[in-house]
Structure 1
Amino acid sequence: MTAVLGGSDRRYKLTIFVVCLVVYLGVGWWLQVRHGYIMGDTLSRVASTQAVLFSRDPHLAALGFIFTPVAAMVQIPVVWLSPLLPDITARAFSGTIMSALFMSGAAVQLYSMGADRGLPRGYSLTITALFALNPMIVFYGSNGMSEAPFLFFMVWAVRRLMLWMVDDDVHHLITAGGVAMGLAYLTRYDALATVAAAGVIVGATTYLRARSAPRVRRMLMDMLIVSGPGVAAFLGWAAAGWLITGEAFAQFTSQYGNAAIMEQSGAVAPSTTEAIGFAATCMMLLAPTLLPLALWTVMQRWGRPNWQMMIVPLGMFGAVLAFQALSYAQGSTFGFLRFFIIAIPMAATLALLGVPDGALAPAKRPGKYAPVGAAAVPVRRSPATHVAVAATLAIGIPVTVAGMTQPDYAPQEYGLVAVLAPDPDDVSERAATEQRIARTFGTERRIAAYLETLDLPDSSVITDTVYGFGIIAASSRPKTFVIPSDPDFTEVLNDPSGHGVRYLLSVPPTGRGTSDALNLRYPTLYETGAEVATLELEIPNDGDGQPDWRLYRVDQTTG
């Protein structure tokens, strides 16, 4: 019977994965390839991945050290096909493939939480559907951002630690810490908060379970297993960045990092009250019933068999939310709705925990401190409870739809209105902004197409990737460009004529443009050509937040 049920569950998991994958790929193609609605970070990662394979000097370090590497690195096999299918890079569809795979995996992990605990299959499928079809999950499962792999690793880690709470199987600790949370940190920096939270949860649990000596040694061993790999990933990534670039934490210290971007854009750190209010509002927009679900789950599980399971999602997901709120309060990150997206799987997990357990899946390798009788718990099921909890979770979907249209909280999402419900008669400033967002990077694609008509040789154009990544990603000849990840970039920039460079792509020395390497080397380049180049073309930009470009032809008589 167990084998039959196991085979059935595998079929359901495969079906969930395939259905979600088709939906996310379809949405991504419709948004990015057909309508050109592309997120800046997505296209930047694609351009970095392209540089690993097709730049003037292909090497893995071209991924850069501003972003952690997983979201870009896994795109390498797909980007390798871009010469055959240009939209893979030009429209960042490799990012869509990446995020669709990971978000589909997150949906499977969420369903598995219910299957592990023997919940009614219909209920587990309902909660999974409410998660997978949440508009924020659909959008970030299809747009190539890092949210999808981060959610996958987080949900996977939470699921395995919940199982460890029941059966004390050390293999769950190894999977959650050694694989899931280590990779979560190499996907998003905020995973460091959950690495710490997991260590505290596991350490306290082991200490209380081990009633005899050596309690402290056992506690430290389990903490090392679950949090050690995450700490090693943190130290290893910092060491790699320092050895290659001279900066251990480029996200915070580099001219291209988040802190520098905020300073260049004139962002002001909010007050503590404003930060708390913003974070609370974002969580309410994404999961308005999160607090009631948490209270209900605590009431239902406290003091009952396997009650410890609820500590895991509350502690680990909660740590990420707290980290994001603190980062925003300190002015080290932007006020983006997506930074609080972990509230959605947190609410879904609590919905799975807010109903009585069925017969738990038997432990394959129960540990020494596995609670007696944890494998099966006789319960009286009430369909009304399942319906009420699922309905409570479902309230979040229309609220999230409304939240995604609020520019004050969702500046990266509200432009979707221009694609989903265009109104050609709307002449308001907001409608104009939505249109600019929808066509962002269209100008960069046209610049790439124009440069290709010039039939330039390799190493003919210098551009920084602060803004130039959109042009490079759209080009079928990326070797044309000299970019900062090239070892000889500084040498070529200092003497473009002597190295056969024909053009300089320049942006205004304002805002983020102040960190552009060309502006740092030639401060008057954009205005006058800095006596090294002559203006050939000026290209106004019709995308949101993108600069007007000037193409300068290098004066070949200069040295």
Structure 2
Amino acid sequence: MSKNNRLAVWVLGILVLFSELLFGIWMAHWNHFVPGDAVSRVANAYYVLFSRQPHLAAIGFVWNPLPSLLMIPILLAKPWFPELASEGIAGIILTSLFASGTAMLLFRSFLRRGTPLLFSTALVILFSFNPFIFYYGSNGMSEMIFIFFLVCCVTAFLDWLDSKSAISMILIGFSLALAFFTRYETIFFGLALAASLMLIVWRRRPKNDQPTYGITATYQKLEASELIALLPVIYAVLIWALLNWSIMGDGLYFLRSNYSNLAQSEGLSKNPLIAPVIGNLGNSLLFVAERSVPFLIPLASIIVMRLMRKKLLRVDFVCLLLFVFSIPLMQLIMLYKGSSYGWLRFFSYPLPLVFAWLPYELQKQKERGRQFYMIGGCMTLIFLGGAAYVTGYFMNNSRLAPEEHEAIHYRQSTTFASNRLSMNVANELDQRLMSDPKASILMDSFNAFQIILDMKRSNQLIITSDLDFKKALNNPVGRKISYILVPRPVGVASLNAVNERYHDFFSRGAPFAKLEKQYGNDWRLYRVVDPAKR
């Protein structure tokens, strides 16, 4: 690229970075709204550095570890800026960086494939400031990090299509491995990528008079391509399973523990929105199709351009379809089995995948002539603008997008009220611990992460990642625990370790626990007493 183009890439990246940061900090600091999952990922990094027993394994073994690992360097500044933890701003900084990186990567891809500077700028701005993409680049969730690695995979795959470069295959491999350490949807996308490589290698098979030679050469190329692209992610899966087994005692702990997605989704059969799709393939298909609509609109521009060039039924287009529908297929299976909440964000990945494919498609359109390119470019802008409008409409619909609707109407949201309550609980607990430096409070961080982040005396908390947590939970009196904080056992809070260990603890306590204080309707603090001395 020219010097001016490189400068434009950096300017756009900085613009996206500061836009995301300003919006994210405005939501978190001034409006006190941060998604619970985003704060939980910050908390996992926080336990590594600032819990009572700091250690790397405190990062947890349910959610993929990369987002929290990347937050650890940011949280080193927490003693000077406590809001990095308490308000989830460490996560906001991280996703803003990845949103900026994604914009720069896409911008560079357009420019390298001959798209004019102004047109490339307009396209990337339409993507980066799409309401959904912009929101998830500013809220600390893992989606934008995952999108970055998906875009890396697609752009490297397209470069490999053109150049057959081994470097592109290496980039695919490492991007796929890092994607797995970010989100589990990588498994289905990786299968789509493996199938795509097989199709492309088969299409490129040698045309030789000796069939045996052609088949052998094709197999060797396929084997080499698949090994380079897939070995890193295979090793990533094996390493994750090994760490789960060696530390938690179960290689599939992330899949079937009490805190796993499967455990949390056990109550979905009572969910009025999800219950009708469980075990019903037709309803599951309709559910997935409806929520995928805003993210599939740009695909229509590629289809029209392919029809113009009479190139629709081609292997590379089949590869695009495999990429685009791989993750929605995973959601379809999970919804059918009743193991997915069906949030709108689970269906968003076709949008960045299609957009990452557009530079390649526009380049092919340009090769057919100026008129083809002008029509294709105009259609692309129209469809991207339409996608932005429809996405914004979906996000403001409480049925289709409950999480995003809650963020838009944050003042009336349960998350806003929960964050304020957590802050009040944390302040009150800090006062108790300050008046008695020898006191300790046991709580399961699965539900209490926001309270933990809001507290200043975390060295007096016994939390789930502590090495002696189970012993303290099983024998609070013998371990000299002062208090136990427990949530109302409703929904996923029923999986809380205290509620699991002691039946009906929230309502009745235990022979060794006396109700000390109730916070709203959601939390109770019990004082631990020796039954023999009561």
Unaligned runs of 5+ in 1: 360-376, 423-433, 542-547
Q: 1:436 aligns with which of 397, 404, 414?
A: 414
Deviation at 1:128, TM superposition (A): 0.7
Deviation at 1:118, TM superposition (A): 0.9
Deviation at 1:291, TM superposition (A): 4.5
Deviations 1:60-105 (A, max 9, x none): 1111111011111100011121121111111111110111111111
Q: Partner residue of 1:216?
A: 219
Does the C-alpha gap of structure 1 residues 294 and 327 become closer, same or farther in structure 2, counting only changes over 3 Å?
farther
What is the alpha-carbon distance in structure 2 between the residues aligned to residue 442 and residue 57 of structure 1? 27
Does the C-alpha gap of structure 1 residues 221 and 409 become closer, same or farther in structure 2, counting only changes over 3 Å?
same
Does the C-alpha gap of structure 1 residues 457 and 549 become closer, same or farther in structure 2, counting only changes over 3 Å?
same
Q: Please state if 1:417 is matched with 2:408.
A: yes
Matches within 5 A, 1:320-339: 320-339=327-346
What is the alpha-carbon distance in structure 2 between the residues aligned to residue 408 and residue 466 of structure 1? 27
Q: Partner residue of 2:300?
A: 292
Matches within 5 A, 1:381-420: 381=371, 382-419=373-410
Does the C-alpha gap of structure 1 residues 172 and 106 become closer, same or farther in structure 2, counting only changes over 3 Å?
same
> Does structure 1 retain, via aligned residues, the 8 Å contact 2:158–2:360?
no
What is the alpha-carbon distance in structure 2 between the residues aligned to residue 458 and residue 353 of structure 1? 64
Q: Partner residue of 2:231?
A: 228
SS in 1 for 2:402: coil
Does the C-alpha gap of structure 1 residues 85 and 40 become closer, same or farther in structure 2, counting only changes over 3 Å?
same
Matches within 5 A, 1:180-219: 180-211=175-206, 212=214, 213-219=216-222
Q: Partner residue of 2:261?
A: 258
Deviation at 1:522, TM superposition (A): 2.1
Q: Partner residue of 2:499?
A: 519
Q: Partner residue of 1:34?
A: 30
Matches within 5 A, 1:303-314: 303=311, 310-314=317-321
Q: Partner residue of 2:10?
A: 14
Deviation at 1:318, TM superposition (A): 2.5
> Does structure 2 retain, via aligned residues, the 8 Å contact 1:204–1:219?
no
Deviation at 1:20, TM superposition (A): 0.6
What is the alpha-carbon distance in structure 2 between the residues aligned to residue 356 and residue 164 of structure 1? 15
What is the alpha-carbon distance in structure 1 between the residues aligned to residue 167 and residue 507 of structure 2? 62
Q: Which AA in structure 1 matches 2:290?
A: T
TM-score, normalised on structure 2? 0.91
> Does structure 2 retain, via aligned residues, the 8 Å contact 1:207–1:218?
no
What is the alpha-carbon distance in structure 2 between the residues aligned to residue 96 and residue 241 of structure 1? 28
SS in 2 for 1:248: coil
Q: Partner residue of 1:550?
A: 524
Does the C-alpha gap of structure 1 residues 412 and 45 become closer, same or farther in structure 2, counting only changes over 3 Å?
same
What is the alpha-carbon distance in structure 2 between the residues aligned to residue 125 and residue 459 of structure 1? 58
Q: Please state if 1:502 is matched with 2:482.
A: yes
> Does structure 2 retain, via aligned residues, the 8 Å contact 1:297–1:353?
no
Deviations 1:525-559 (A, max 9, x none): 21222011211111115xxxxxx101111114659
SS in 2 for 1:412: helix
SS in 2 for 1:66: coil
What is the alpha-carbon distance in structure 1 between the residues aligned to residue 205 and residue 295 of structure 2? 39
Deviations 1:419-477 (A, max 9, x none): 4xx7xxxxxxxxxxx33333332211211111111214377000012211111111122
Q: Please state if 1:275 is matched with 2:278.
A: no
What is the alpha-carbon distance in structure 1 between the residues aligned to residue 290 and residue 97 of structure 2? 30
Q: Please state if 1:487 is matched with 2:495.
A: no
Does the C-alpha gap of structure 1 residues 55 and 389 become closer, same or farther in structure 2, counting only changes over 3 Å?
same
> Does structure 1 retain, via aligned residues, the 8 Å contact 2:21–2:93?
yes
Deviation at 1:384, TM superposition (A): 4.1
Q: Partner residue of 1:238?
A: 241
SS in 1 for 2:398: coil
SS in 1 for 2:403: coil
Q: 1:142 aligns with which of 138, 141, 148?
A: 138
Higher helix share: 2
Q: Partner residue of 1:460?
A: 440
Does the C-alpha gap of structure 1 residues 160 and 250 become closer, same or farther in structure 2, counting only changes over 3 Å?
same
> Does structure 2 retain, via aligned residues, the 8 Å contact 1:118–1:358?
no
RMSD: 2.3
What is the alpha-carbon distance in structure 1 between the residues aligned to residue 90 and residue 242 of structure 2? 29
Does the C-alpha gap of structure 1 residues 207 and 236 become closer, same or farther in structure 2, counting only changes over 3 Å?
same
Deviation at 1:204, TM superposition (A): 2.6
Matches within 5 A, 1:7-86: 7-86=3-82
